[in-house]
Amino acid sequence: MIKDRKDYLRRVDEAADYIRAQLGEFGIPEVLVVLGSGLGPLADFCERFKAISYKDIPNFPVSTAPGHEGLLIAGTLSGSKVFMMKGRFHYYEGYEMEEVTFYVRVMGRLGVKTILLTNAAGGIDDKTEPPYFVAIEDHLSFGCESVLRGPNIDEFGTRFPDQCFVYDKEYLDILTDCARDLNIPLRRGIYAYSKGPQYETPAEIRALKLLGASCVGMSTVPEAIAASHMGMKVVCFSCVTNMAAGLSGNKLTEEEVLINAGKASSESCDLAKEFISRITTDKGE
Ligand code: HPA
């Protein structure tokens, strides 16, 4: 939990100043894409202006999760300036919520307007074989510690932020249009946040199903709350990589998650690319 709001803000601004100085005349992109499992190859489509290792950014945490490289890329994707985060920070790794969301705050202070969050998730539907995609229209996280707990940083946003519009409705429609035009099946649904690192129990999944969740995962919600607190537009899609606990009769493994994220990777990248090209006004020259 943030204890010293002035010190936290100073550390966020120090990181932001470093990134701004590194980007020089390139400027600050309006959009950040957070590359979840399977979306890593999107970074290869990006014409890089600069790739900054997390360990060089003052006060930035360093990711410990396997397969999560720590790189902030600034470049051009389909003619639009973007930031990409290759590697994110999960609560289950041992980071505090203010560390999990540190990068979001830095992006907000830099003036980034939109954040596209992607992730792998377990599907709470026992009829559809993974992989498939869910565009997130809302989330469940009331059993979890809030990222906004502690003294409010007024420079970020208000003490009691509304949560009815965390996921931008207009951008959700644009994402839906992109999927339709690319012939990629995309349903809408509710993402349930689970702190992990253990997968859920079958009883937890039955409970989440009763509550209306479509999928479950161990990331995204803290970042979505922190970004919308700062007034950023949030858009998110999950790649469902496995049936959630108890639905398939099989044990859950990370291997299944990675294999299915890999199978869906090219469609994930196409969807993200198309979405970015439709929303960016900040075209490179
Ligand atoms: N549960 C939580 N997180 C996940 C899952 C799951 O079933 N699959 C991928 N990430």
Predicted pLDDT at 3: 86
**What gap in Å lies between CA 272 and CA 183, rounded to an integer?**
14
**What gap in Å lies between CA 18 and CA 13, rounded to an integer?**
9
End-to-end CA distance of the chain: 42
For ligand 1, pick from 193, 216, 253 the residue to mutate: most ligand atoms within 8 Å of CB: 216
**What gap in Å lies between CA 128 and CA 242, rounded to an integer?**
10
Crossing angle of helices 102-110/221-229, nearest 10°? 30
Predicted pLDDT at 284: 46
Phi (first) and psi of residue 4, to 5 degrees:
-115, 100
pTM of the full structure: 0.96
Residue nearest to atom 9 of ligand 1 (CA): 121
For the stretch 85-126, pLDDT in tens is: 999 999 999 999 999 999 999 999 999 999 999 999 999 998
Which atom in ligand 1 lies closest to the alpha carbon of residue 242?
8
For ligand 1, pick from 88, 91, 200 the residue to mutate: most ligand atoms within 8 Å of CB: 200
Q: Select from 180, 191, 148, 157 the least CA-distant residue to 270.
A: 180
Return the bridge partners of 50, or none.
74
CA–centroid distance, residue 237 to ligand 1 (Å) = 14
Whether residue 81 contacts residue 30, with contact meaning beta carbons closer than 8 Å, is answered with: yes
Predicted pLDDT at 63: 67
For ligand 1, pick from 218, 256, 263 the residue to mutate: most ligand atoms within 8 Å of CB: 218
- What is the CATH class of 5-282? alpha beta
133 contacts: CB under 8 Å, gap ≥ 6: 179, 184, 185, 186, 187, 237, 238, 239, 240, 264, 267, 268, 271
Other beta carbons within 10 angstroms of residue 128's beta carbon come to: 12
Predicted pLDDT at 40: 87
Q: Where are the domains of the chain?
A: 5-282
Which atom in ligand 1 lies closest to the alpha carbon of residue 244?
7
Which residue, chain included where needed, has tokens 């790794």?
A: 93
Phi (first) and psi of residue 245, to 5 degrees:
-50, 130
3-state SS of the chain: helix, strand, coil percent to 5?
A: 35, 25, 40
pLDDT, averaged in runs of 10, over the chain (285 residues): 92 98 96 92 92 95 70 93 94 94 98 97 94 98 90 97 97 98 97 96 97 97 98 98 95 94 94 94 50
